[in-house]
Amino acid sequence: AEERENLTWELFGSASRELAQEVAADGFVPDLILSIARGGLFVAGALGYALDVKNLHVMNVEFYTGVDQRLDLPVMLPPVPNVVDLTHKKVLVADDVADTGATLKLVRDFCADHVADVRCAVVYEKPASTVKCEYVWKRTDRWINFPWSVLPPVVERAGQVLDA
Measured distance CA(33)–CA(43) in Å, rounded: 10
Residue 15 found at the interface with ligand 5GP (CB under 6 A): no
- Specify whether the CB–CB gap between 85 and 114 falls below 8 A: no
Evaluated on CA atoms 36, 40, 42, 46, the torsion sign reads negative
Residue 144 found at the interface with ligand 5GP (CB under 6 A): yes
Closest contact distance (angstroms) between CB of 57 and ligand 5GP is: 17
Q: Footprint of ligand 5GP on residues 73-112 (CB under 6 A)? A: 74, 95-103
Closest contact distance (angstroms) between CB of 66 and ligand 5GP is: 17
- Specify whether the CB–CB gap between 98 and 111 falls below 8 A: no
Q: Footprint of ligand 5GP on residues 38-67 (CB under 6 A)? A: 39
Helix (H) or strand (E) holding 6: strand 4-6
Q: Using CB under 6 A as the criterion, which residues of the chain lie in contact with ligand 5GP when the complex forms?
A: 39, 74, 95-103, 143-144, 146, 149
